[in-house]
Amino acid sequence: MGGLMNSYYYGKAGKGDYTVDQMPTTRRQLFFTTLRVRFSSMCALNIFHVVFVIPLLILAVYAYNGLMMFASDDAWKLGGAEMKEAYSAYREAYDAYADVYYANDNIEKNKSLLKDVEERIARVEAGGEVIVEEAPVVEGGEPEKRPATMEELLAEKAVYVNEIERIEKLISETSEEEKEALEQKALEANLLYENYRSGSFRSFIAQTLLFMIPFMGLAGIGSTGQMYILRNWARDEHAFIWQDYKAAIKANWKQGLVVGLLNGLSMYLGFVAFTTYGSMANKNALFLIPQWMMVMLMFVWWMVNEIIFPMMVTYDMKLKQLIRNSVIMVIARLPIAALILIGSVAIPFVLTFFVPMQISFLVLIVIYGVVGFSLTGFVYASFANSCFDKYLNPRIEGAEVNKGLYNPDADEEEDAPCEVQMKEDRFWEHKS
């Protein structure tokens, strides 16, 4: 065991030293090198963050169960009294219509069942025996088998005879106009129920997103500690998982809480606005413009999340400055920022829409419970570091640029003095 832990922390004996030629010179090399070295530590860090998102995970299970209910025939149970009445009216109208529409099929089915029971009656009259199965007394037990009596078989025959007579009478007494009226009534009842069902579904989603807001704030607090460590690892610097995690949360929890609450609020307001404008667009197509503008704003805000948490733990800025500078950087690096956001949601999207819900839900829990949050944050931190080196650090006197990257030209400069010219008034300070 001691040798295993020694190998884990210090590497295998006999391996060659890390040479200058092996040092990363591009950000792509730096990303994959640090990812390979820090992957196991990311799994440990992921556990820390999962503690802050436990309420979100519980809410996700609640939402999952609700979605499964809405996808089933039991959706009416989640609605109010009006929805339940609409469902009862729809089932009554549909049963009446189906009774007429499938009358001929039902006659053939009952005739087949009548023929079968007549054969069993004939077998008993000839002195034979017909075995029937009864439900087990204890749940999960073996069904009980016994010989059928003539009274039971005759009673079963009477049921089929009466049903055939009822259906034949129904066919003869129902005109084509009455059939069309039954069909129209069933369609109207179905439309009314589906309106209640869709409205109840939207209310369920909105309610879930509303409850999510404070939980997103809690997750935002945890993201500050996680992102501080991931930022250091992304630029190949050391970080103590527990000590630095606590210190970063203590220094940044207020801003992390506010940004987390804004994340939750953006999802709630975005959903409400999208569905509201969508219903209005059914009457006036011009409302498609604000509807899709809301989608674009949501997309931009979640790209801002790629920058704002690493910036929060790196620079002393007010919240307004954090948001403004993050937006500017996202717009300046829009293609890359959009690609990173799409990539971070690609796996959940594919699993949700192309894999059975039960399987996808379990797979997502395993992925994000083990390393998903840390891996996504590491990609964000690596991207944010490149943005800082391009847009912020050159403006800060004495700030080091391209941390973790090897610069061959630096070896030729014998401690030359660094002259950094301020491009504008400095309104930030380095936190670390």
Is residue 93 assigned to a domain?
A: yes
Last residue of a domain, one of 168, 187, 206: 187
46 contacts 57 by C-beta, under 8 angstroms: no
147 contacts 130 by C-beta, under 8 angstroms: yes
Q: What pLDDT, on a 0 to 100 scale, did the predictor assign at position 253?
A: 94
293 phi/psi in degrees, rounded to 5? -65, -35
Token pair for 147: 């010989």
Residue span of the structural domain in which 110 resides:
81-187
DSSP 8-state code for residue 319:
H
Q: What is the tens place of the pLDDT at every residue in 382-431?
A: 999 999 999 988 888 877 888 878 666 655 444 444 443 333 434 445 56
373 and 251 share one domain: yes
Q: Alpha-carbon distance 246 to 249, whole Å?
A: 5
29 and 159 share one domain: no
Using alpha carbons, select from 306, 313, 248, 239 the residue that is nearest to residue 41: 239
378 and 321 share one domain: yes
pLDDT cut 70: percent of the chain above it: 88
Count of structural domains, the chain: 2
Is residue 417 assigned to a domain?
A: no
Strands 144-147 and 131-134: antiparallel
Q: What is the mean pLDDT of residues 156-178?
A: 87
244 and 274 share one domain: yes
Q: What pLDDT, on a 0 to 100 scale, did the predictor assign at position 137?
A: 61
Is residue 414 assigned to a domain?
A: no
3-state secondary structure of 401: coil
87 and 70 share one domain: no
Residues whose CB falls within 8 Å of the CB of residue 249, separated by 6 or more in sequence, listed in order: 221, 222, 224, 225, 256
Q: What is the mean pLDDT of residues 188-216?
A: 90
Is residue 19 assigned to a domain?
A: no
Among the ranges 58-62, 113-117, 195-199, 327-331, which has the highest mean pLDDT value? 327-331
Radius of gyration, alpha carbons of the chain: 34
Token pair for 347: 């796996």
249 and 347 share one domain: yes
Is residue 230 assigned to a domain?
A: yes
Is residue 228 assigned to a domain?
A: yes
209 and 340 share one domain: yes
Q: Alpha-carbon distance 316 to 328, whole Å?
A: 17
92 and 35 share one domain: no
Last residue of a domain, one of 145, 168, 187: 187
Q: What is the tens place of the pLDDT at every residue in 272-302?
A: 999 888 888 888 888 889 989 999 999 999 9
400 phi/psi in degrees, rounded to 5? -80, 135
201 and 338 share one domain: yes
3-state secondary structure of 430: strand
Neighbours of 290 (CB within 10 A): 15
How far is C-alpha 192 from the geometric centre of its chain's CA atoms? 30
55 and 97 share one domain: no
Average pLDDT, the chain: 84
109 and 227 share one domain: no
Is residue 426 assigned to a domain?
A: no
Is residue 129 assigned to a domain?
A: yes
Q: Alpha-carbon distance 31 to 27, whole Å?
A: 6
120 and 149 share one domain: yes
Greater model confidence, 379 or 198? 379
304 contacts 266 by C-beta, under 8 angstroms: no
Q: What is the mean pLDDT of residues 222-236?
A: 93
Could you give the dihedral angle defined by the CA atoms of residues 236, 241, 247 and 249, in that order, rounded to the nearest 10 degrees? 100
Cα separations in angstroms, 207 against 59, 78, 108, 131, 314: 11, 13, 49, 55, 35
Last residue of a domain, one of 125, 160, 187: 187
3-state secondary structure of 143: coil
The residue behind tokens 């931009």 is 300
Token pair for 356: 């059975």
